[in-house]
Chains A and B, each alone.
Chain A
Amino acid sequence: MPEIGDEAFEFLLARAGLKLTDEQKAELQTVYSGIAEMAQRVRKPRGRMAEPAHIYDFAEEDLA
């Protein structure tokens, strides 16, 4: 399970501008691994040319 150290955790919170109580921090730290797993899951060997989705339109092949 991916974990996060106290220093990195505090850095991310500070960068996000969030001020949490110690209790909130402790709880949030326990679910970090869930986000880290999701972040791993969306990474695939796709190379540098793969485009992101811009779903504001559907291509004709979507509709066929």
Chain B
Amino acid sequence: MSGAVPTIAEAARLIAARQLSPVELTRACIERVHKLDDQLHAFVHLTEERALADARTAEAAIMANGPKGPLHGIPIGLKDIVDTKGIPTTCQSKFLQDNIPETDAACAEKLAAAGTVLMGKTTTHEFADGGPSFDLPAPPARNPWNTEHFTAGSSSGTGAGVAAGLILGGIGTDTGGSIRGPAALCGIAGIKPTYGLVSRAGVAPAAFSLDHIGPMAWTAEDCALMLQALAGHDQRDPASASRPILNYTAQLGAGIRGLKIGVIHHFHETDHKVSEGTQRGITAAIGTFRDLGAEIREVQLSPLQDWNACGSLISITERAAAYEEWARTRLGDFSERLRSRLMLGAFVTGVDYVQATRRRRELRAELQAAMRGLDVVLTATQPSEAARIDAVPKWDLFAAPNFTMPFNVAGYPAISVCAGFGAGGLPVAIQLAGKPFQEPTLFRIADAFEKATPFRDRRSPLVAA
């Protein structure tokens, strides 16, 4: 096992061999929550009794008939914008402090059907945008590698929870990087699947046409196991894709010899120059891929600023539309940071929005053309190690373009994996993006990278202690 905390794949093998009890595994996670979450704030709502009940049910079923799949008996967390039947779903907002949904979101339903153990609802920025905020009913999550530092957001609790071993995996959502950002800064893996692959039904919107639901876990292999349970068409989501569900672990271990990786150097070297530590991680990763037999090429796209302008205008407008009623009547009840984002909606005209969607079409076509003859493209996920949590600029939207938005604009799948550690001892990451619905190739490459590097063997000092 990878230290004190098993990966999902490791736990699944031990559970199937009846060498690990789901109840004991769950108790170990609960103990870590009690020990660490006062510092981390990864959970908004811990469902301890539900978790133990789920674990006992799983254990009894496994003892009788064996596991129904690799997620059976695995403790997970759900971002608190995911509806959960009978369990508070607050979206970290004053508006929904008493909200107890009557049904599960599609992703919650699917993970429950796979036999997972629900540990609780994980911390998010309010309605998945704008944090870290200190004026909300619950505090922001903190980075397990150094609790004075930020996790990135908005799937911050899931990122911190996985990194600290409070859960083995969890759900994040991603409108401009909210799965991949926390995955990067917390040193775990997180994938934003292809738009439409995982149903958004029952998940609070941030920006309808950019929102994605996806798994976060310690390894790419674990994310593949989770995506297997999550993928599939859902009539309740108008954007849900009617495509066959592939086998997301089928290509793991096949090696990457001959695969073609395009590096978008200008994104992280010119458009938004990353830190020395992150650049070292990227350069070393390219070397690793080359050593594993991949062909490395260079890719040129429109400047990162173009992708961010397009995505931000769409995001600001769709969010302002979704929350317009509350913004008009109770603006003061939003956190300062989300309120500021919502106010920006006043500046974007209908014509601006349509121009952004026309630009989106062009950018997608550009990425499609650039990826002909390639399997994936590579760039940074975050510009550096995590900043101090009290030093995150309120208007970061305008400070510098992010590296994750291009793949929300395009709807293409993208994964973040740990690529080492910076000078401050916090994780750095790379981002790989693939062609639509080609998640098996992404997992193949990400898994090969993780297995060729030592970064999955290192846990945060909090967990080691």
Against B, the Cβ 8 Å flags (1 = close, 0 = not) of A11-31 are: 011011111100010011001
Residue of B nearest to A37 (CB): B309
Asked if A52 is at the interface (CB within 8 A of a chain B CB), the reply is yes
Q: Are B346 and A13 in contact (CB under 8 A)?
A: yes
User: How distant is the Cα of A44 from the Cα of B366 in the complex, in angstroms?
Assistant: 14
Which residues on B sit within 8 Å (CB–CB) of A41?
305-306, 309-310, 359
What's the minimum C-beta distance from A12 to chain B, rounded to whole angstroms? Answer: 5
The answer to whether A20 touches B331, judged by C-beta atoms less than 8 angstroms apart, is: yes
Q: Min CB distance, A39 to chain B, in Å?
A: 5
Q: Which of B349, B355, B358, B438 contacts A51 (CB 8 A)?
A: B358
Residue B239 lies at the interface, judged by CB distance under 8 Å to chain A: yes
B357 near A28 with CB under 8 A, answer no
Interface locus among B48-56, B161-169, B337-345, B414-422: B337-345
A53, B313: Cβ atoms closer than 8 Å: no
Smallest beta-carbon distance B326→chain A, Å: 11
What CA separation (Å) do A24 and B397 show in the bound complex? 17
Tell me whether B209 is interfacial, beta carbon within 8 Å: yes
**With A28-B340, A51-B358 given, is the CB distance from A62 to B435 under 8 Å?**
yes
With a cutoff of 8 Å between Cβ atoms, the chain B residues found around residue A37 in the complex are 309
Contact yes or no, B324 A17, CB < 8 A: yes
Instruction: Contact check, B331 vs A12: say whether CB atoms are below 8 A apart.
Output: no
Task: Give the CA-CA distance A34 to B343 in the complex, in Å.
Answer: 13
Alpha-carbon distance between A32 and B397 when the two chains are bound, in angstroms: 12
A43 to chain B, nearest CB (A): 5
Q: Is the CB of A53 within 8 A of B361?
A: yes
Whether a CB of chain A sits under 8 angstroms from the CB of B449 is no
Binding site for A on B (CB under 8 A): 194-196, 209, 238-239, 241, 305-306, 308-310, 312-313, 316, 320, 324, 327-328, 331, 339-340, 343-349, 352, 354-362, 364, 368, 372, 395, 397-398, 411, 435-438
For the complex with contacts A24-B339, A50-B361, 5 further pairs of A-B residues with Cβ separation under 8 Å are A17-B324, A27-B340, A53-B361, A57-B241, A63-B436
Q: Residue on A with the closest CB to B348?
A: A35
SS class, residues of chain B in contact with chain A: helix
Q: Which residue of B lies closest to A61 (CB)?
A: B368
- Which residue in chain B gives the minimum CB-CB distance to A50? B358
- Kindly identify which residue among A18, A24, A31 contacts B327, using a CB–CB cutoff of 8 Å: A18
The CA-CA distance from A62 to B209 in the complex, in Å, is 18
User: What is A's interface to B at a CB cutoff of 8 Å?
Assistant: 4, 12-13, 15-20, 24, 27-28, 31-32, 34-39, 41-44, 46, 50-53, 55-58, 61-64
Q: Which listed residue (A35, A56, A64) contacts B239, Cβ 8 A?
A: A56
Most chain B CB atoms below 10 A, which of A15, A16, A42: A42
**A28 interface neighbour in B343, B354, B397, B436, Cβ under 8 Å:** B343
Residues on A with beta carbons closer than 8 Å to the beta carbon of B355: 39, 42-43
Q: Which of A15, A42, A61 meets B310, CB within 8 Å?
A: A42
Contact call A63/B435, Cβ cutoff below 8 A: yes
Cβ–Cβ contact A51 & B346, under 8 A = no
Q: What are 13 sample pairs from A and B whose C-beta atoms fall under 8 A apart?
A: A4-B347, A13-B346, A16-B320, A17-B328, A18-B331, A18-B343, A34-B397, A42-B355, A43-B355, A50-B361, A50-B362, A55-B360, A56-B195
Q: How far is the CA of A34 from the CA of B400 in the complex (A)?
A: 11
Which residue of chain B has the shortest Cβ distance to A12 in the bound complex? B346
Query: B352: nearest residue on chain A (CB-CB)?
Result: A39
CB pair A39–B354 under 8 Å, yes or no, is no
- A35-B305 contact in complex given A18-B327, A55-B209, C-beta closer than 8 Å: no
What are the nearest 10 A-B pairs in CB distance?
A: A52-B357, A16-B346, A34-B398, A38-B309, A53-B360, A41-B309, A53-B361, A17-B328, A42-B359, A35-B347
The listed residue (A15, A18, A31) touching B398 by CB distance below 8 A is A31
